[in-house]
Amino acid sequence: MRRQEPPVTAVQHEARRRRWRRLPLTLLALSVVVIGLLALVIGVPTLWRYSGESVQHYADPETHFRHGSIGSEVSGLPVRLWRVLPDLFPEVFDDQHYEVFGFLYASGDEASQGDLPIGLGTREVRGVEIAWFNCALCHVGTVRESPDASPRQIDGMPSNNLDLYGFISFLLDVADDPRLAPDSVLAAMDEQGQRLGMIERQVWRYAVLPQVREGLLETRATLAPLLDEQPPWGPGRVDTFNPYKLLQFGMDAAELDESERIGTSDFPAIFLQRPRQGMDLHWDGNNVSLQERNLSAAIGAGVTEESVDHAGIERVADWLLDLEPPPSPYRPDPDAVAAGKPVYMRLCADCHGYQDGGRYVFEGERLGQVVPNAELGVDPARLDSYTETLQRYQLTLFEDDERYRFRYFRNTDGYANLPLDGLWLRAPYLHNGAVPTLYDLLLPPEQRPQAFVRGLDVLDEEQGGFVAPDCTPGEPLAEGFCFDTSQPGNGRQGHTYGTKLTAQERSDLLNYLLTF
């Protein structure tokens, strides 16, 4: 039985209303005092520049998905600062830009020319252009069909590259570094040719940059105790709800029960959302509303109740309703595929739907429904991280707005049966990414790899998924991240369906799965 959570106190309820919610810059990029001084010294034109806000709009829906704002900039960094951080911290970036953390750049963009990665939306707030996360950060990945091939970017697949833990840890680590002092940052801007006028320079020196540092330090005090306790997430993974508890609702890491402190899981695919309407959503199936799930994810990315851009979020959501995954490039033996389909239909289709003639069929008696983990037997950490206390907090979000207020979040006892469209792009497998290939998923848990490299994007031609060689935790790697299934939350156990097949049946089933 799940433990009873303490009631939400009035103090805790009020804490979530604080304007400071996430990483690291508050919406008030300039103080009232500075604006007043500007008005007195140089008059109305400059005051107008440092008031209000504006946001760029993109006609193309894919460009909007990749670069458009969802309102998260309240939690973000000034664009000018994004551009100089690699120069300020060369020992971290090693002559690269944000690709060192797995960020991707659109074709034709050049980080060296000041272009920002995919997954950052921008908005000008009181004269300062700010950038922070949007949906594409976690839901655009890359794939190569051979080591020599150029990476192919796929919208809607999980970001198999992004090391979000590494990036956040970097920001928190440098919060009090002298190189973030105004003199150092302004000098780096000058070196890059980012020219500031006399008044603008003073605004940055005395308002913008001090608030960036103050926000980073506050976030470090809140978040670092949790991150220090968790194993590094590794690329393609995120702890969905624990940072949410601390930054959105003002909880303290020390308040969290030991069983809920690690909830790291893979980024999910977000193809074809229309057929998913009414299914149990999230890994643990804790919500049935696409709108609510999308809005919750936006809050996780840095949006607040005050900053939310509903139109921007809904435009992305509408585009995703019918976003199809690209077809599988695997060409398995047709006879093996034909032999494997009946095995799949017998063991898997009721829970996951099926593939038929190159089309995914969203039909199955238990498709999109939660299966108790007592039956599945997979690692429980992600399930346990979503608590009744968090549910009660979430049900207070947007409570004064009848259209958007949260109604559907619930606490479950298991994990949802997800459709498998675009399965070839979803490795590693299970909710926590603890099994590298489809071949390994069909083995008994004790035979699955104990430690393997993740963060690579070359397809495994034989086993389905990405090439994921064995590794030894603690030993350096030329590329990728050594994922250790013995770490808390990383367990490879459970989901034993298909593990008792004969070798031939397993081979045939794998060939059929390669067509998804």
pTM attached to this predicted model: 0.91
How high is the pLDDT of residue 48? 43
How high is the pLDDT of residue 259? 94
How high is the pLDDT of residue 38? 42
Amino acid letter for position 174? V
How high is the pLDDT of residue 28? 39
How high is the pLDDT of residue 31? 43
Q: Which residues of the chain carry a pLDDT beneath 50?
A: 1-6, 10-48
Cβ burial 64-86 (10 Å sphere, 16+ → b, else e): bbbbbbbbbbbbbbbbbbbbbbb
- Which residue carries 């829970």 as its tokens? 351
Tokens of 141: 């990945």
How high is the pLDDT of residue 21? 43
Amino acid letter for position 384? D
Q: 367 and 350 in contact (C-beta within 8 Å)?
A: yes
27 DSSP assignment: S
Domain boundaries, the chain: 10-513
Which one, of 95, 125, 123, 98, lies nearest residue 109 by Cα? 98
How high is the pLDDT of residue 51? 56
How high is the pLDDT of residue 495? 98
Between the alpha carbon of residue 158 and those of residues 50, 212, 235, 268, 404, the distances in Å are: 38, 30, 10, 5, 26
- Which residue carries 């198999």 as its tokens? 160
Q: Give helix 209-229 / helix 164-173 axis angle, nearest 10°.
A: 120
How high is the pLDDT of residue 54? 87
The DSSP secondary structure of 360-400, one letter per residue, reads EE---TTTT-EEEHHHH----HHHHHS-HHHHHHHTTTTTT
How high is the pLDDT of residue 43? 43
Beta partners for 461? none
